[in-house]
Structure 1
Amino acid sequence: MGHLYGYARVSSTDQSLDVQHAALTLAGCSIIRSEKKSGTTTEGRPELQTLIDFAHQGDTIVVTRIDRLARSIADLAGIVQVLEAKGVALKATEQPIDTSSAAGRAFLQMLGVFAEFETAIRRERQMEGIAKAKEAGVYKGRPPSIDAAKVLELKADGLGPSAIAKQLSIGRASVYRVLQSDVGQTVE
């Protein structure tokens, strides 16, 4: 029989991992990897990748809920595919998920769809809130990180986009955007 390895994740640094750690320990996990990262992508989650790389055939990766692992069906499917190819099972302590059975795999896929739907709904609500705040004049967005006036000044001094980008330590694409957004300004 293989080992049980736990994975715990919260989205922000002010959230606690204690409840997940306790549940994973109670489930019998010998090693628990955890991180405070967004679940909307698997990119930039080194603890998850380490766990996936480390697990061997016959081992099981345990999470408390499937949304701790992935928020999109594509990411979830990718993780499950990699684990299955290695002969590693996936279980959740709070949901009837166990990829070592057909019923567990089916339930996992259904939950993945709902997790992705929840993320999309949250994003829509956030965009609606931002739109209302903009209408009310409350939300202005983040301040520009590029000094457009300085870009235009350097262009007027005869510098090309590459030289401007280098001098201001910004990307050339940013220079082009500023130059193209300036009315009457052409990019050479």
Structure 2
Amino acid sequence: MKRLLDYVEEGDTVVVWRIDRLGRSLIDVLNTVNLLREQGVKVRSLSDGIDPETTSGRLMLGMLATLAEYERELIVERVNAGIAAAKQSGTRFGRPPVDPVVIAEKLAIARDARAKGRTAEQAARLVGWSRATLYRHQHAARARDDLAAEKV
């Protein structure tokens, strides 16, 4: 959209399939049409047949943009309802949990590699992690060890 707005000149005509393609919300569509009109650019919608140059075209533009925004809001509501229903039925979202035993094994391998002179980057790659992931797991392991030592 930014490239289009930078490209158009006075006297050009912007042709869209549907007028709601000019923005993500009613405000976006209306602002885009008004901006184009101020620059002397005409807007034509193929499927809607809307001509913002006329009074009735502007009325239709407002009504269609409002309906398009309503449709998008309905979709968001349905998606959110679907996510909530999936969570209630036990579906987990996000990364799968990692087995702490696997993490401990990988930390031991990385620790051994570091003791043999490998860099943190090399040790992390050896177990399939990034250096940041290695450091994060090392930090978490130290925190757990410190917490366990305090309880004793």
Q: Give yes or no for TM over 0.5.
A: yes
Could you tell me which amino acid in structure 1 is paired with residue 94 of structure 2? R
For 1:102, which of 52, 55, 58 is the aligned residue?
Answer: 55
Alignment partner, residue 76 of structure 1: 29
In the alignment, structure 2 segments of 5+ residues that lack a partner are 97-131, 144-152
CA apart distance, 1:70 = 2.1
Alignment partner, residue 126 of structure 2: none
Do residues 52 (structure 1) and 52 (structure 2) align? no
| Aligned equivalents of 1:126, 1:155: Cα separation in 2 | 41
In the alignment, structure 1 segments of 5+ residues that lack a partner are 1-47, 157-188
| Aligned equivalents of 1:86, 1:92: Cα separation in 2 | 18
For 2:93, which of 131, 141, 146 is the aligned residue?
Answer: 141
Do residues 91 (structure 1) and 55 (structure 2) align? no
Q: Helix, strand or coil for the counterpart of 1:97? A: coil
CA 1:82 to 1:154, structure 2 compared with 1: closer, same or farther past 3 Å? farther
CA 1:61 to 1:137, structure 2 compared with 1: closer, same or farther past 3 Å? same
Larger radius of gyration: 2
TM-score, length of structure 2 as denominator length: 0.61
Superposition RMSD in Å:
2.6
Alignment partner, residue 153 of structure 1: 140
- Number of residue equivalences: 107
| Aligned equivalents of 1:76, 1:154: Cα separation in 2 | 52
CA apart distance, 1:111 = 0.6
Residue by residue, what CA displacement relative to the aligned partner does 1:3-24 show, whole Å, maximum 9, x if unpaired? Answer: xxxxxxxxxxxxxxxxxxxxxx
| Aligned equivalents of 1:118, 1:90: Cα separation in 2 | 22
Q: Helix, strand or coil for the counterpart of 1:91? A: strand
Verify the 8 A CA contact 2:20 2:29 in the aligned structure 1.
Answer: no
TM-score, length of structure 1 as denominator length: 0.50
CA 1:152 to 1:102, structure 2 compared with 1: closer, same or farther past 3 Å? farther
Hey, which of these two has a bigger chunk of helix by percent? 2
CA apart distance, 1:101 = 1.3
Could you tell me which amino acid in structure 2 is paired with residue 153 of structure 1? A
